[in-house]
Chain A
């Protein structure tokens, strides 16, 4: 069943999404992968570069934007590499994650405990996701190049819910 989720989300909206649902995302989506995760975890006690509450993070590192494009190809990267960091960030309020591929048991537990979501984007579909991104800006760590922390505005961004807020898992 196709559902939609506007970001930033309101708490009760997350509960309406079930593992296995197809979801269209719209609104504001933050972007960070390996090095950003390491840095966000280190920044938790200080001021993180964006407000975690109500927001979602997308595991992605785009290719460069050609002239007249908002962004280059922008598909998801493998989520499992973020597993060591995700429970820490979930507990700090960053509860909605978008990536690809399976997560470890500790992430699933943390999603359940915090009432978050793990959503999967279609792997390798970089051109498709670029077409759903309206704007992109670097908000932190520009020195990381393609791994910098981005803020996107998106519409009709297709994902599948893999772990819902009750900890249910969709695995086909």
Chain B
């Protein structure tokens, strides 16, 4: 039992460290996409320069890159042969997130009672946790620090089953048109297709942690969104989006759910993997 407690504390510390690091430094592939983005028209040059300077200052000073350090979204992928207890996994996620909020000087952005009182929980908890089973015996925790300027632009459409590829591309383009400059472009898009309405929404977030399973579609979407010329900061030109990942699942004969999660240019995420005996 005591040994168990030490293990869980160590696991929570690993989560906390990864979350704090994620709020200060972008994953290598995201940073690379930003550094390699070619500004074209509008105020794209000055917006991209400001973003690069911001990343440099965040790295140098240890301040979070954005004041909206986000809501904790977490996918716990549990190996079918793992001996981890799901209650312990939850404990590690919550303890790690709470510790990161304090030690990392995260803004407390979560309110209880979403409709009326909206009083701040002062802990950044609860975290929004999803569980799934996978092959193997590891437990992998995938976190998004989900800012809400972009989350407010996320959306779902229930298309006709015959809408096809064009229908999906058009739906995303319409949702991005409505988003305009609000989600801090250039954005990264997670697209979830199939399942039920909520399942598509879930896939649209999981998509940030997996490579696209339909690259034809993700490339078409990327191209079409960049043709909108919303531009960096919404101030015109290109690029509007820097990456699109699509995840698909089977669905019902009568439907074609399409969900889009919008992430701002600061696509902050952390993945922590635990082997047997570590959680």
Residues of A within 8 A of B (CB): 22, 60-66, 69, 72-75, 77-78, 80, 100-102, 120, 122-128, 130-131, 145-146, 158, 160, 170-172
Contact = CB atoms under 8 A, between A and B. Distances in A.
B96 interface: no
Interface stretch (B4-12, B83-91, B102-110, B209-217): B102-110
B65 A124 contact: yes
Say which size band chain B's interface belongs to.
Answer: 35 or more
Interface string B172-185: 00000000111010
B67 A74 contact: yes
Contacts of A64: 105-107
B271 interface: no
Nearest to B60: A127
Nearest to B235: A172
Interface string B245-279: 00000000000000000001110000000000000
29 contacts: A22-B46, A60-B67, A61-B68, A63-B64, A64-B107, A66-B62, A73-B65, A73-B69, A73-B107, A75-B54, A78-B149, A101-B182, A101-B234, A102-B182, A122-B54, A122-B233, A123-B149, A123-B184, A124-B265, A125-B65, A126-B54, A126-B64, A126-B66, A128-B53, A131-B61, A146-B120, A158-B50, A160-B43, A172-B235
Contacts, number: 140
Contact of B264 (A62, A72, A124, A170): A124
Contacts of A171: 235-236
Nearest to B153: A78
